C-alpha cells in the first residue's frame, strides 16, 4: 500500500467542530461536514486517503501496520482542516490510537445531556472505558449502543457506585475490575432473602428506574434497566473480592 499523502494545500473550514471524547471518526467527520454545509465525501476528498480507509474499517481503533506510518500526517492534516490542535484531536478520537484510555473499552453513545450543552442534538457514538457506565455529572446510565440512556436521579446509589468503581482503579487494573464486576453481577440473587429486604434489593431499584424513566418513553423491557439496577450490588461484591482486607476507603 502506498503511503497516503495529504493534499498540498489543505483548506481550512470556516466552522470549528470540537470532537467529543471517545467519538467515532466517521461521526466526527459527519458532524464537521454538516456544520460547514458539506457532504462527508467532500470532506474526505481534501483529506489523506488514510481517513477513507479508517472510516471503511469496522474497527477503526485497530492500528494496522500499513496505516501506522501515515497516522501522524493524517492527524496534522485534520488539525489544519479543523483549526484544532493535533494533541486535542489525538486525545479525543480513538481512531488515532493515542487516547488516554487504557484497558478494555465498550461502544456506547455519549451522554445526551453533555452533548446537548454543546449544541449537539443527535446521538454521538463513542468508545469509553468498559468500567465507565455512568455520566456522574448528569446522573445518566450510558447504555450499550442502540439502547436508551436512563435517568438515575431516583436512584443516587447507582451514581455513588460509579464513584466507588473509579476509586477501585487506584489499586487495580481496568481488566481486574471488569472481570470481577462481571462475575459479581452473575452471582447476585434474583430475589430478596425476605420481604423486609425488598426496599434494599435490586428488584426494588429496577421498579424505581422503570417508573422514573416511563415519562421519557423508554420501554420497560430494556436490558439496560437490569444492568443499572444490579450495578451497586455488583460493585459492592467486586470491591469485597478485590479488597478482602481493605486498609481504608477504596
Is 2 part of a structural domain of the chain? no
Do 32 and 72 fall into the same domain? yes
pTM of the predicted model, to two decimals?
Answer: 0.85
Do 68 and 137 fall into the same domain? no
Is 42 part of a structural domain of the chain? yes
Separation between Cα atoms, residue 134 and residue 59, nearest integer Å: 24
Domain final position from 72, 96, 120:
96
Q: C-alpha grid cell for residue 27? A: 461521526
Is 115 part of a structural domain of the chain? yes
What is the share, in percent, of the chain residues with pLDDT greater than 90? 72
Is 249 part of a structural domain of the chain? no
pLDDT at position 4 over 70? no
The answer to whether residues 250 and 239 touch, using CB atoms and an 8 Å cutoff, is yes
The answer to whether residues 184 and 238 touch, using CB atoms and an 8 Å cutoff, is yes
Domain final position from 48, 73, 96:
96
Do 75 and 177 fall into the same domain? no
Do 77 and 169 fall into the same domain? no
Residue identified by cell 470549528 is 16
92-138 pLDDT, tens digit each? 999 998 766 667 899 999 999 999 999 999 999 999 999 999 999 99
Do 121 and 52 fall into the same domain? no
Is 247 part of a structural domain of the chain? no
Is 15 part of a structural domain of the chain? no
What is the share, in percent, of the chain residues with pLDDT greater than 70? 90
Which region, left, alpha or beta, applies to residue 180 given φ > 0 means left and ψ of -120 to 50 means alpha?
Answer: alpha
Do 206 and 130 fall into the same domain? yes
Tell me the sheet residues that pair with 125: 109
DSSP code per residue over 146-165: TS--EE-TT-HHHHHHHHHH
Is 13 part of a structural domain of the chain? no
Do 117 and 92 fall into the same domain? no
Do 156 and 197 fall into the same domain? yes
Helix, strand, coil percentages in the chain from 3-state DSSP, rounded to 5: 50, 5, 45
Do 31 and 110 fall into the same domain? no
Domain enclosing residue 237, as ranges: 105-242
Is 202 part of a structural domain of the chain? yes
The predicted pLDDT at position 1 comes to: 44
Separation between Cα atoms, residue 244 and residue 250, nearest integer Å: 11
Domain final position from 60, 76, 96:
96
Per-residue confidence band for 10, with pLDDT thresholds at 50, 70 and 90: low
Do 52 and 172 fall into the same domain? no
37-82 pLDDT, tens digit each? 999 999 999 999 999 999 988 777 776 666 677 889 999 999 999 9
| Max avg pLDDT among 1-5, 172-176, 198-202, 242-246 | 172-176
What is the total count of domains within the chain? 2
Residues 6+ apart with CB under 8 A from 42: 33
Do 136 and 76 fall into the same domain? no
pLDDT at position 166 over 80? yes
Do 219 and 113 fall into the same domain? yes
E strands, the chain, where? 105-109, 125-129, 134-135, 140-141, 150-151
Amino acid at each position: 500500500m502506498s503511503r497516503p499523502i495529504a493534499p498540498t494545500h489543505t483548506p481550512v473550514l470556516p466552522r470549528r467542530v470540537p470532537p467529543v471524547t471517545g467519538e467515532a471518526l466517521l461521526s466526527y467527520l459527519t458532524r464537521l461536514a454538516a456544520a460547514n454545509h458539506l457532504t462527508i465525501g467532500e470532506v474526505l476528498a481534501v483529506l489523506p486517503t488514510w481517513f477513507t480507509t479508517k472510516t471503511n474499517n469496522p474497527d477503526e481503533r485497530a492500528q494496522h501496520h500499513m496505516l501506522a506510518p501515515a497516522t501522524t500526517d493524517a492527524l496534522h492534516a485534520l488539525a489544519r482542516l479543523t483549526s484544532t490542535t493535533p494533541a486535542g484531536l489525538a486525545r479525543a478520537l480513538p481512531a488515532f490510537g493515542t487516547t488516554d484510555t487504557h484497558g478494555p473499552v465498550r461502544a456506547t453513545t455519549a451522554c445526551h445531556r453533555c452533548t446537548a450543552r454543546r449544541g449537539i442534538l443527535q446521538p454521538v457514538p463513542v468508545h469509553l472505558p468498559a468500567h465507565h457506565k455512568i455520566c456522574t455529572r448528569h446522573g445518566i446510565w450510558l447504555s450499550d449502543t442502540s439502547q436508551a440512556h436512563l435517568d438515575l436521579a431516583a436512584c443516587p446509589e447507582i451514581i455513588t457506585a460509579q464513584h466507588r468503581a473509579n476509586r477501585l482503579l487506584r489499586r487495580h487494573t481496568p481488566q481486574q475490575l471488569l472481570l470481577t464486576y462481571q462475575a459479581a453481577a452473575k452471582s447476585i440473587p434474583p430475589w430478596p432473602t425476605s420481604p423486609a429486604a425488598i426496599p434494599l434489593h435490586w428488584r426494588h431499584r429496577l421498579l424505581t428506574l422503570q417508573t422514573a424513566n416511563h415519562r421519557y418513553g423508554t420501554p420497560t423491557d430494556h436490558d439496560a434497566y437490569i444492568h443499572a439496577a444490579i450495578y451497586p450490588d455488583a460493585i459492592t461484591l467486586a470491591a469485597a473480592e478485590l479488597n478482602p482486607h481493605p486498609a481504608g476507603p477504596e
